[in-house]
Chains A and B, each alone.
Chain A
Amino acid sequence: MSNKAQKASVVSNGSRWIRFAILIIIGLFLITAPQFVGTAFVSLVTKFFIFAILAMSLDIVFGYAGLWSFCHAAIFGVAGYTAGILAISRGITSFWLTAPAGILMAGVTAAIFGVIALRVSKLYFLIVTLALGQLIYGIALQWKSVTHGYDGLWNVPFPPDIGFANTPVSYYYFTLIVAVICAVLLYLITRSPFGHSLEGIRDNETRMRSLGYNTWLFKYIAFIIGGLFAGVAGIVYVHYNSVMNVYDVGLAASGIIILMLIIGGAGRLWGAIIGSLVFVFLQFFVSLFTPARWPLIMGVVFILVAMFLREGIWGYLNKLFNRVVNRGSATS
């Protein structure tokens, strides 16, 4: 028994090195990629970074705290609109003013929405957040003097006062750095006592209350953290896309982030990263061949994952990886 356990721990130590090596290879690839791929690819990967931040931020709320939030794109949009409006209409050129303002607005929105939505749970939480998200959509659509309604914001420039982030390639690196910082911070949170408490609340809230946890406060903090990081994604997005419009904050946009999580595997940050990777790349390549049928293909992928990969693609890859590594060490 203990022998077997010992062996298992040796194996997991070995696999940890292999995982680390894979991470290094991915990292080197991402750092060097712009040198040998085209602009379209650079732009595509930048988009992936942004959606990875967004999906990871929702994972804290959805995957870890178990809150079925359907207004995540709206909170993301609040940050994007705030930064975009300040930059274009108000003529505030300093990224160091517009970015914190956008993230702050996203945090405030999450703090207000959280108070309202956390009065209920599960499906009711989903419905209330859905309604709150549509409220933001409504504001983006109707408050024409500020948001320009259907037209949205146009020609949002690259952040002018970050010298190294004013071309597509340099903006790629800027986004990469932001995404890595976000991923590290969120990873630390998921590993911390707070993160584990969220998992406990997701799995059995009644018991957590009986163990001394003010579960409401934990969920509220998680919701705000998710909102702040969604805000970061919103800021990076508006400067990347140069356009911000109502579709970015609507119901469908919120649904897409949830789809990314479910496809990749909710409750694991890697799941969020892989989900956004699959989504962004599939969307791009499928749209090249058959733009009109993109939603159809996406639907099929979603159904397949839901039917055959309950823990998402990451859950499957993880199992596969463990099986291969264990077999390798068993034969050697």
Chain B
Amino acid sequence: MDLLQVEGLTKSFGGLTVLKNVSFTLEAGQKIALIGPNGAGKTTLLNVLNGLQPFESGRVFFCGQEITHAAPHKRVSMGLARSFQINSLFPNLSLLTNVLLAVQGTINCRFQMFRPFSAYTDNIAKAKELLESVGLWEKRNSMVAALSHGEQRQVEILLALASQPKLTMLDEPSAGLSRSETADFINVVRTLMRDTTIFFSAHDMELLFSLADWVLVLYYGEIIAQGKPEVIQHDAKVKEIYLGEA
């Protein structure tokens, strides 16, 4: 079944068209990578799919329902979550609070006013499970600002996963990590992402080839190729514009 269906998406900033008539579908259960050089429109595409940025034309369907004009929070409650390229956390709140905010994001208890945050043991159990999966439970009382960049990248992904989405969009999950950190990070992502469909933008070839089973190539706002990683790797056009001339 098609999980996400995008038809003729066009988006411009002033006179600059960053997405030109982009159409594609994502199948459930896959790990799909979105690649392209800087300025290709990867982050813009994710922002548009997330509902954070308006666009001129095109339609978006998620699980068969049209979400073209749905607000971001509606999309999340339908199961479409995302992480950010530049850490977008709550640096002055504790790590546990960060994760709890993410866990309760799609649960009605978020409107509850007279019962303490800490009384929701189900949420805390869920947060514990998530934090333990990346080995950060011990640091739950630290302010997020005090964590290392690598740890913050992991939290970034945890927040996206906390609502148990059907489709998780990750924007450059390994951004800012060193080569050795990336290797560990890939393992973390792989275990976390076992059962969800992910759509991630990537710069890092290691991340791309070790995770993805389908690749979309975005070049100046247009999808110019898609296919299995091995195929894309040898695609002449992609080689020329993205991997550099061979």
By a beta-carbon cutoff of 8 Å, the part of chain A in contact with chain B is 1-2, 5, 185, 188-189, 191-197, 199-200, 203-204, 206-215, 221
Contact = CB atoms under 8 A, between A and B. Distances in A.
A188 B81 contact: no
A209 B106 CA distance: 11
Interface string B91-124: 1110001001110111001111111111010000
B225 interface: no
A258 to B, nearest CB: 21
Contacts of B38: none
Contact of B113 (A195, A208, A215): A195
B71 interface: yes
B24 interface: no
A6 to B, nearest CB: 12
B35 to A, nearest CB: 22
B73 A214 contact: yes
10 contacts: A192-B113, A192-B116, A192-B117, A194-B111, A197-B110, A199-B93, A200-B93, A204-B89, A210-B82, A211-B159
Contacts of A207: 84, 88-90, 159
Given A193-B109, A211-B105, 20 more contacts: A185-B114, A191-B116, A192-B112, A193-B111, A193-B120, A194-B111, A196-B93, A196-B100, A197-B104, A199-B90, A199-B93, A200-B97, A203-B92, A208-B105, A211-B162, A212-B105, A212-B106, A212-B163, A213-B73, A213-B105
Given A193-B110, A193-B111, A203-B91, A1 B117 contact: no
A70 to B, nearest CB: 24
A203 B109 contact: no
Given A191-B117, A210-B50, A204 B88 contact: yes
A185 B114 CA distance: 8
B76 interface: yes
Nearest to B98: A200
Contacts of B51: 209
| Minimum-distance CB pairs A-B, first 9 | A212-B105, A212-B76, A211-B105, A209-B72, A212-B106, A207-B88, A194-B113, A203-B90, A191-B116
Given A196-B97, A211-B101, A212-B76, A206 B114 contact: no
